Amino acid sequence: MDRAKKNIFELTNCSLSQYKEIEKLPLCVLLDNVRSMYNVGAIFRTADAFLIKEMILAGITGCPPHPEITKTALGAEESVEWRHVENSFEEAKRLQNEGWKICVLEQTHNSIALQDFSPDKSERYLLVVGNEVNGVDQCIVDIADVVIEIPQAGVKHSLNVSVSAGIALWQFVSHYV
């Protein structure tokens, strides 16, 4: 059994131009007023790894180019399609009106445990992740088609937004592969 670490050449899947041509999953991520540029960069990197269609940076969420985003994204801000909108709610509502299913990652009464959520492969999803302190704006939670929650057993009641986004995105991806 070969357990040698792969080198950079073995890890390289494709070039930037080839990546842009690959069909992406019917999944976008909306960052609702995420404060930390490091979190934004980390989510870019996860979006690249999982072939996410687009990242929508909303409200106070920072945008590339920015040194802190670049530091954690490691170039993923160049491969992942992204755009900025001023109002998270208006963008979520617009996409919902276009047929996207709004999936909010939040701790609410009657949320669905992440492991019990199975995305319908015939649908397009917008995963909304929220601000590090306040979470996803309640007006977006109110219009959501589904609210998913990552069950937690520790003393703390939350995970870092980039960690939560990665876990939730893997749940989607694992149903598509």
pLDDT digits (tens, 9 = 90+) for 123-140: 999 999 999 999 999 999
Residue 18: exposed, middle, or buried by beta-carbon count in 10 A (0-12, 13-18, 19+)?
A: exposed
Interatomic CA distance for residues 133 and 135, integer angstroms: 6
Identify the structural domains of the chain with CATH numbers, from first to last. 20-176 (3.40.1280.10)
Region 98-126 average pLDDT: 97
Chain position carrying tokens 């986004």: 165
Q: What is the pLDDT of residue 15?
A: 92
Confidence of residue 87 (pLDDT cuts 50, 70, 90): very high
Output the pLDDT for position 10.
82
Return the percentage of the chain with pLDDT > 90, whole number. 93
Mean pLDDT of 73-96: 98
